[in-house]
Amino acid sequence: MKSKKRNKTFVLIISILLGILFLSPFYIILSNSFKTQKGIFLNVMSLPFGDFFTSNNYIEAFRELDFIHSFLNSLFITVSSTIIIVIFASMAAWMLVRTKTRFSSFLFFVFAAAMLIPFQSVMLPLVNIMGKLGLLNPVGLVFMYLGFGSSLSIILYHGFIKNIPKELEEAAVIDGCNKFQVFWYIIFPLLKPITVTVSILNTMWIWNDFLLPQLVINKPEWHTIPLKMFYFFGQHSKQWHLALAGLVIAMIPIIIFYFIAQKHIIKGVTQGSIK
C-alpha cells in the first residue's frame, strides 16, 4: 500500500514536469513578446522587467497585422465554410444511408477513398480551374472547403445516421411530409451531437489552413490570419520583438475558442478519429 502511494507521488511529479515542459514554449514566446529588441538580445530566459519591458510591440504588431480585418476575414471564411459543409454533408450522408442502391454505395466509397489524396497532387490543376472560373477569392475558397471537407464530414454523418431508426421518418411521411421536411424537421435536429463534432473538426482545420488561402487569395485585403502572419513574419524576421507579439496576437482567438469549447473539442477529436 505504501509503495503504491509513493508510486503515485512519483507519477504526479513526472506529470507536472512534463506539463511545464509542454507549456514552456508558450511561456518563452509570451515573456519575450514584452521585451525590447535589446532585452531579447541580452537574455531570452529572463522575465520582462525594468528597462527591457515594453508593450509597444503589441500596439505596433496589432496595427501592422491589420488584425481586426484579417480576423474578420478568417472568421467569415471559417464560419461560412463550416455552415455549408454541415448542411450539405448531412443532407448527402442521410440520402446515401437511406438509398440502398449500388450507385449510392459507390458514391460513399469514392468520398471515403478521397481521404487518401494529398492536397499537393490536385492543387496545380485546381488553381488553374478556379482561375478560369474567376473564383480565386473568398467565395471560391468557401466552395473549395466544401469539396475538400466533404470526405471526412460525410463519413462521420454516415456512421451516425446508420444508427437512427427509420420508423420515425416513415411516420412523418404518412403525416404528409416530403423528404425535405422530413430531413429538416425530424432528422437534422437528431444529428446535433455529430454536427458539433463535424463543426469543430472543420473549424480547426479551416481556421489554421495556410496553403489553400496562399494559392487562392491574391488580394491583401482578403488575407486570413495565417496568411497575414506569413507576410508579416517575412518583413520582420530580424525583429523578433515585433514578430513574437504578432504570433501571440494570432494565437489568441483559437485559444479563447479552446477554453469555451474545450469539452466538445476533445470529444470531437475522439469521435473524428474513430471512423
Partner 1 sequence: MKNSKFWFSFFVGPILFAFIVVVIIPMFMGIYYSFTDWNGIGNTANWIGLKNYIDVFKDKDFLSAFIFTAKFAVVSVITINLMGFGLALLVTRGLKISNFLRSAFFMPNLIGGLILGFVWQFIFTKAFDSLGRLSGLGFLEGWLADPTTGFWGLVILMSWQMAGYMMVIYIASLESIPESLIEAAEIDGANAWERLIHITIPLVAPAFTVGLFLTLSNSFKLYDQNLSLTGGGPYNSTQMLAMNIYNTAFKFDDFGLAQGKAVIFLITVAAISLTQIYYSKKREVEM
The site map against partner 1 for 220-259 (x = CB under 8 A) is ------x--xx--x------x--xx--x--xx--xx-xx-
Q: Is 34 in the site for partner 1 (CB under 8 A)?
A: no
Q: Which of 6, 18, 171, 235 binds partner 1 (CB under 8 A)?
A: 18
Please work out, in degrees rounded to the nearest 5, the angle formed at the alpha carbon of residue 54 by the alpha carbons of 237 and 65. 45
CA distance 71 to 226: 10
For residue 111, the minimal CB distance to partner 1 (Å) is: 7
For residue 124, the minimal CB distance to partner 1 (Å) is: 6
Q: Is 97 in the site for partner 1 (CB under 8 A)?
A: no
Query: Cβ–Cβ contacts within 10 Å for residue 90, how many?
Result: 24
**Cα-Cα-Cα-Cα dihedral sign, residues 77, 83, 87, 89:** positive
- Indicate the burial class of 126 (C-beta count within 10 angstroms; 0-12, 13-18, 19 or more): middle
Site size toward partner 1 (CB under 8 A) is 86
Q: Which of 150, 159, 173, 186 binds partner 1 (CB under 8 A)?
A: 150
For residue 1, the minimal CB distance to partner 1 (Å) is: 14
136: left (phi over 0), alpha (psi -120 to 50) or beta: beta
Which residue's C-alpha cell is 487562392? 216
CA distance 113 to 256: 35
Q: Which of 3, 5, 102, 121 binds partner 1 (CB under 8 A)?
A: 121
Tell me the residue type at 39: G
Q: Which of 6, 15, 109, 218 binds partner 1 (CB under 8 A)?
A: 15
The answer to whether 207 and 74 are in contact (CB under 8 A) is yes
Q: Which of 65, 146, 196, 217 binds partner 1 (CB under 8 A)?
A: 146
Give the binding range for partner 1 (CB under 8 A) out of 49-57, 63-71, 125-133, 160-168.
125-133
